[in-house]
Amino acid sequence: MTGILRSFGNELATRKSVISCADFSDIQLLDVLFETRPTWLNHIAVPPSETEQFWTSNALKRFPTAWANLLFLDLGVIPSNCWLEITDSIIMLMAADGLALICNSSKDIERLYSFTAILRNYTPACLSAFGLEFAEDISQNVAWCRRSGMNIREVYADRSEQQSEPEHHIALLQKHQLSTKRVVDFYQPETEAVSAELDSRNKRLQDAEDMLACSQEQLFQKQVLLDQLQESYQLLQVQFQDQAGDLLTVQSSLAMMELDRNSLRLESALITNSFKQSQDTLSQVINSRFWKLTALPRKLLDIIRPRMSQAYEVTIANNDATQDKVPISGNQIDRSTDFEDDLRETNDLLLTSYHHPISSESEWKGTFLNLDDTSTKLSVIKATRILFIDWKLPEPDKDSGSCRIYEILKIAACFGKGIDFISDSVASDSRYVDLLLSLGINIISGRQCGMHHLQKYGAQYLTVFISRPEVAICYAPLVRCYASSAQLIYDTVDLHFIRFLRGLEICGEDSQESEELNRLALSYRDCELFLARTSDKVAVVTEEEKSILSDDISEESVYVIPNIHSSVKSLHSTSFSSRNGILFVGGFDHAPNVDAIQYFCEQILPKIRKRLPEVVLHVVGSKMPDKIRQLRSKEVNPIGYLESLDEIFASVRLFVAPLRYGAGMKGKVGQSMSYGLPVIGTSIAFEGFDVQHRLHGMIGDTSDAFSDALIEAYSDPLLWGTISTEAAKLVESRFSPTSAYSTLRLLLLGEI
């Protein structure tokens, strides 16, 4: 056989044309055919690492038909369950006069017998039709078949010359029987396994048919349901079309509202520009030589005007009271009339009152007749001082806003600038006066003194910081006139109109309270947005309020200055087991605090008493009304105002903040967290703190959720300890004086 194969190789080599070889073995079968490999040999081999995947995916069928002059197969790497599938592919792949060599690297001769038997017996018609001749040399562990132009019958005829036909047939038959027996023996286990698998598949097929019948019944029922749904869908589609028409109408209305809003923004910008132009004009007038020359007449007018007005009123009254009066000469009447007309005209042109848009009690009764050029008088003094204006002196032991402004003042005192504080109301408690004086801050008490101070010393100020809309709406025009070179900062404290809108959501729609809240919300909204637009910078307490204002003013001019707290947890490390009761703290001149206590006592406390019958609610706060004091019972302890909260913070187990409406940050919530006292509150109570539920506090927005959270935190020492520690860390990292220092320096001085 070796000689036959070598002669076939020499025959291919003499053709001097490209020889295509598909090699699916790792045995050097080319050395069997060629003494020296031809240079025009096109050799394609499958790497051993890819052999198993190649045969299991039957990739042989993707090769071109009649392409390979040489085909090498290694049965040692071909799974036996693939043999039946590749025989046709082998024959189709061989080119005319092509040669296939089959070997077995595993040295298992039985595998070679079995495969050659399959190749002979499985497709005898293919062998004849394609002109294949087959031979095997078991001793060399190699078998081969060749496709040539010679018919198989001719092959047999050539062989009959050397051996009689009966003997040849007997030899072939014996060889065939031996091969067949080997194939049967080889596949017997696989045949039994296939039969068992076939029985199993038949059973599964029967089960599948039963399931199919059941599914068809279900499908029929679902089809009926689908028909019903389609009818419903058609009805809904008709309704949707009607609603789509309504939606278009609404969208058109929204578009018109947006146009109106843009128009209002444009008008607001024009008003602001006009205000600034008027301010520049007023400054030019004040600095003009003519205005300085009129200083004496203007002072005389301030003295004469009230007297002349009184005299005029007395004259009118006398004229009405009596018919008999002493006649006056015509010249005197003319002069008096001319003077009164001039006086009225002067008043109409120069007298100006700035009306407070919310409360008439804050109306300024002064005039601009006595404006003086303070900037020229103090031009040698550089504007370096900072002025704070609020409705009263800070009382940090009474309300959240006072705590915040007091902490801001303490930080500002470290900047090395002179600081003054105007209190719109007259200070009545020397404790709070001494509190600011200890920081080196000058105090101006009362509105008249504040206006006089601005008139005389306004040019000294680098920055003016005004808190609350009621105060800013009165003082902002005076700051623009008397401190024209200072940057004006409006501090919202919280957006009041947001608080009123949230209160509107929980009261009855037709009640008198809802009408009042709606009026206040609209009035405060106009006032606060106007102040924000006409100020140089705006200070807010939360990112949420910054986002609200960014719709109307530039986001870069809004600064977040939250409540500021110093952590004191280490000073009050009372253990969980040593604490009892729950605590609420809040000033009761603030309506949301009154509503919170009533809501807690009516809807939450009864649910808590069922699980914690001994728990007591302690209520602390200034200006406590009678309706809160009347809640006194064995489970409610209305205490009122306490000068120091250290002792009670160290004795109670939880702080509650059941606020249903409000705005900004809640000072007592932050203070409780700084003491390491866990807080149970609503989402509104935790606004601005970025609290994570069960880590920094417990959140409950309904009465059931609130009571469940309180009971769990009150009863679980591990949860209590986690919240106590993490809440104090949150205050220290986000709301401490250190974290606010750089932001305040940038806001007040424009530098870091």
Q: Which residues contact 387 (CB under 8 A, 6 or more apart)?
A: 419, 420, 421, 422, 461, 463, 464, 465, 483, 486
pLDDT digits (tens, 9 = 90+) for 237-264: 888 887 887 788 788 878 887 787 777 7
Residue count (the chain): 752
Three-state DSSP class for residue 520: helix
Is CATH 3.40.50.2000 correct for 569-735? yes
Q: In what order do the strands lie in the sheet with 654-657?
A: 636-640, 617-620, 582-585, 654-657, 679-681, 698-699
- What totals of helices (H) and strands (E) does the chain contain, helices first? 27, 19
Specify the higher pLDDT residue, 656 or 130. Answer: 656
Q: What is the mean pLDDT of the chain?
A: 77
Domain covering 2-162 in this structure, CATH number: 3.40.50
**Nearest partner of 179 among 148, 134, 224, 211, judged by Cα:** 134
Cβ neighbors of 703 (< 8 A, separation 6 or more) are 603, 604, 607
Q: 569-735: same fold as 2-162?
A: yes
Q: Which helix (H) or strand (E) holds 249?
A: helix 165-287
Whole-prediction pTM:
0.51
Give 71-102 pLDDT, tens digit per residue.
888 887 787 777 777 777 777 788 877 888 88
At 423, the pLDDT band (50, 70, 90 cuts) reads very high
Question: Per residue in 306-332, pLDDT tens?
Answer: 665 555 555 555 555 544 443 333 333
Better pLDDT: 13 or 231: 231
Mean pLDDT of 367-376: 44
Q: Amino acid identity, residue 317?
A: A
Domain 374-560 in CATH 3.40.50.80: no
pLDDT at 457 over 80: yes
> CA 601 to CA 656: how far, in whole Å?
12
Phi, psi at 579, each rounded to 5°: -105, 150
What residue has token string 């009892």? 580
Which pLDDT score, from 0 to 100, does residue 681 have?
95
Q: Which of 370-379, 481-490, 553-562, 701-710 has the lowest mean pLDDT?
A: 370-379
Look at residue 311 in the predicted model and tell me its pLDDT.
59
Task: Give the tens place of pLDDT for each residue, 613-672.
Answer: 989 999 999 889 999 999 999 999 999 988 888 889 889 999 999 999 888 888 889 889
In angstroms, rounded to a whole number, what is the distance separating the alpha carbons of residues 463 and 479? 10
Counting other chains too, the contacts that 431-435 makes at CB distance below 8 Å and 24 or more residues apart are: 432/393, 432/394, 432/395, 433/393, 435/393, 435/394, 435/396, 435/406
Cβ neighbours for 368, distance < 8 A, ≥ 6 positions apart: 350, 351, 352, 481
* pLDDT value of position 342: 42
Percent of the chain with pLDDT over 70: 75
Of 118, 110, 61, which is closest to residue 90 (Cα–Cα)?
A: 61
Model confidence pLDDT, tens digit, residues 486-508: 999 999 988 888 888 888 887 76
| Res 353: pLDDT | 29
Q: In the chain, where are the structural domains located?
A: 2-162, 293-351, 374-560, 569-735
Q: Contact at 8 Å (CB) between 33 and 6? A: yes
> Minimum mean pLDDT among 76-80, 114-118, 185-189, 464-468: which range?
185-189
Residue 62 has pLDDT above 80, yes or no: no
- CA nearest to 520, candidates 593, 465, 476, 469: 469
Q: Where are the beta strands (DSSP E) in 441-485?
A: 442-445, 461-467
Q: How many Å apart are CA 297 and CA 695, to the nearest integer?
A: 70
Specify whether the CB–CB gap between 483 and 459 falls below 8 A: yes
Q: How far apart are CA 109 and CA 127, in angstroms?
A: 23
